[in-house]
């Protein structure tokens, strides 16, 4: 278990070992979730070509009008399912 301080404007600094283990670097995105009276941070994986990461994971019966919006919605849903 590690502890850290909350700085100005509510900022925290993740310990180096944690950043390295979870590949969190400047510009990385995290999901903040409240779970059983605790704060949980979940790193979001990013890909050079996000469409490749989603290849064949979305099943649609018709063409998608806004593919980026549909992909983001799918990713959010999967992340929430995985974090439960």
pLDDT value of residue 56: 62
Domain count for the chain, please give it: 2
CATH, residue 10:
2.10.260.10
Same structural domain for residues 82 and 51?
A: yes
**Is the model more confident about 20 or about 54?**
20
56 and 31 share a domain? no
- Same domain for 28 and 65, yes or no, is no
Which residue has better confidence, 6 or 52?
Answer: 6
Q: Please check whether residues 7 and 40 belong to one and the same domain.
A: yes
Domain that holds residue 27: 1-45
List pLDDT tens digits, range 24-75. Answer: 999 888 989 998 999 999 888 766 666 666 666 666 667 667 878 888 888 8
Kindly calculate the radius of gyration of the chain based on its CA atoms and give it in whole angstroms. 16
How many degrees, rounded to 5, is the angle at CA 19 between CA 26 and CA 2? Answer: 130
Per DSSP, helices labelled H in 1-84 are: 16-21, 50-54, 67-82
User: Is the pTM for the entire model greater than 0.75?
Assistant: no
């Amino acid at each position: 278990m590690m502890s850290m301080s909350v700085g100005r404007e509510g900022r925290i600094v993740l310990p180096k070992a944690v950043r390295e283990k979870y590949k969190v670097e400047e510009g990385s995105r995290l999901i903040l979730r409240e779970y059983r009276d605790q704060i949980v941070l979940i790193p979001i994986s990013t890909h050079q070509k996000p469409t490749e990461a989603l290849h064949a994971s979305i099943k649609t019966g018709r063409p998608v009008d806004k593919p980026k919006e549909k992909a983001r919605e799918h990713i959010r849903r999967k992340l929430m399912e995985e974090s439960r």
